[in-house]
Amino acid sequence: MIRKPLAASVVHVWSEDPGLDRERPGFDAAWKAFLEDGKIEQLPVKDGARLARFTIGPLSMKAVTYIGLRPDDVRMWESVAYGLRGVADLEIEGAGPVELEFLDTPRGQRATDASLERATWYALLGELSARIWGITRIDP
């Protein structure tokens, strides 16, 4: 049987979010469980901290084809542009909360480049891209 994930979105937390309590016993097991089931409430969080949340979804086949034809140096960027659906509790110091803007394209909705510049950084971009491809794949 071939299983294709539903087109539902999942919420991702950056593995280096400063609000994560990485020193709490059982953190590694909780993180692994989170990556499998997506339940944020099981993640150990420092007192008073709020985790930034990135809502992502699988790529459409049109987006997959388009991204596959892009040069290597822009594939990660484009996969996040097409796979990122929203952000919550992400603030830029001195500038306030980050909100995404989207464009409609022939391949589906895409976050604008300006939005990605505000909402991501290289380490996060790589992690989001990997997670987006992970939920896009077909699981035989």
> Beta strand pairing status for 91-92 and 96-97?
antiparallel
The C-alpha atoms of residue 24 and residue 2 are separated, in whole angstroms, by 38
Global pTM value:
0.89
At 138 the pLDDT is: 65
Q: Digits of tens for pLDDT over the chain (140 positions)?
A: 666 555 578 999 999 999 999 999 999 999 999 998 888 999 999 999 999 999 999 999 999 999 999 998 899 999 999 999 999 999 888 878 899 999 999 999 999 999 999 999 999 999 999 999 988 876 65
CA distances from 19 to 12, 27, 50, 53 (A): 14, 13, 6, 11
